[in-house]
Amino acid sequence: MSQERPTEWDVPLDDRTLAVETSGKADGFPVFLMHGMPGSRSGPKPRSMILHLLGIRLICYDRPGYGRSTRHPGRRVVDAALDVQAIANHLELDKFAVVGRSGGGPHALACAASDLFTDRLTRVAVLVSPAPTDAPGLDWYAGMAPSNIQAYREAMSDQRSLIESLTIRADRTRRDPASVVSFIDGELSAADRNVVEDVALRRQLTESYAEAVRFGADGWIDDALALSQDWGFLPSSIKVPVRLWHGAEDAFSPVAHTRWLKSQIQHAEFEEQPGVGHFAAMLILPDILAWLAAPQPELVDARPARRV
């Protein structure tokens, strides 16, 4: 086994800093894991032994405003590509892949759509992601849990209420990290309840939430605003190989959202798994990481075939 590298990094940008954590095999294939909303670099992930077996060096970072990462006021989803570029350059990565879970899904797609990573970004996976709020033909709120409906509606039409409500929830989370899970307890499907009742996983969730709001609700607020506005790119512009995964019983990001994404990313692989919900994305992650680390296929050429 190769010598371990430091696991904590502070990556400087021009006027701010990103808090980064690496785990797994030090010389393994690099994969960025984009956390959910709220979330942090310390969120649920496979154990180091599993990452070693998969040959993965997992890279997690706090999106701006979460944890130790400096806030980036007015950030959009598309801006995640610049943050990933800064981290990849700082860690001197030649090739890497990206996976995004829940609210991290659109940020992973931003990397897939970006021109910043020519010949560097190999594959992207997206788990239980929301679709853009202006997705044509999608009944965006259908099947969605009331807590998420409230947050997104406030983000789109009543930002003062959003700031007040998320600030209160962040304060409560600092005092009692388990309150985030308790807040949505009544909205959990039976499938999700089985997942979050696992003691180890629940501990990972609460630790991630506590770190996310350690210095306030800024990251949570900015995520909600970014996800509810123009993402800054079109999913249809994505050319790198993409794998989409969604649990059919998801009430927080309904599966119709990923079906819509599949309709836009024509070459994407899509798996809809019956009988599981939102939090099963944490259980499927080792399989997704194995796919991301597999030998790189030819990049998809989005240009129409030439007729002869």
Give tens-digit pLDDT for 269-283.
999 999 999 999 999
In a domain, residue 117? The reply is yes
In a domain, residue 79? The reply is yes
In a domain, residue 303? The reply is no
Find where tokens 């010598």 sit.
Answer: 3
In a domain, residue 3? The reply is no
User: Does residue 107 carry a pLDDT above 60?
Assistant: yes
User: Does residue 249 carry a pLDDT above 90?
Assistant: yes
Lowest-pLDDT choice from 28-37, 169-178, 248-257 = 169-178
Task: Quickly state the pLDDT bin for 302 (edges 50, 70, 90).
Answer: very low
User: Does residue 301 carry a pLDDT above 80?
Assistant: no
Task: Quickly state the pLDDT bin for 4 (edges 50, 70, 90).
Answer: low
- How far are the Cα atoms of 79, 121, 153, 154, 226 from residue 229, in angstroms, in the given order? 13, 26, 11, 12, 5
pLDDT of residue 178: 86
User: Does residue 147 carry a pLDDT above 80?
Assistant: yes
pLDDT of residue 183: 86
pLDDT of residue 298: 53
Task: Quickly state the pLDDT bin for 25 (edges 50, 70, 90).
Answer: very high
Task: Quickly state the pLDDT bin for 296 (edges 50, 70, 90).
Answer: low
User: Does residue 245 carry a pLDDT above 90?
Assistant: yes
Percent of the chain whose predicted confidence (pLDDT) is above 90: 84
Give tens-digit pLDDT for 150-173.
999 999 999 999 999 999 999 999
In a domain, residue 301? The reply is no
In a domain, residue 304? The reply is no
Count up the domains in the chain and report the number: 1
Average pLDDT rounded to a whole number, residues 193-219: 93
How does the average pLDDT of the chain come out, rounded?
A: 92
In a domain, residue 77? The reply is yes
The token pair that represents 106 in the structure block: 């659109």
In a domain, residue 134? The reply is yes
Which residues form the domain of 141? 8-293
CATH number of the domain where residue 176 is located: 3.40.50.1820
pLDDT of residue 45: 94
User: Does residue 297 carry a pLDDT above 60?
Assistant: no
Q: What are 205-208's contacts with CB under 8 Å, separation 24+?
A: 205/43, 205/44, 205/180, 205/181, 206/177, 206/178, 206/180, 206/181, 207/42, 207/177, 208/35, 208/38, 208/39, 208/40, 208/42, 208/43, 208/44
Q: For residue 209, how many C-alpha atoms fall within 13 Å in the half-sphere facing its CB?
A: 22
User: Does residue 22 carry a pLDDT above 70?
Assistant: yes
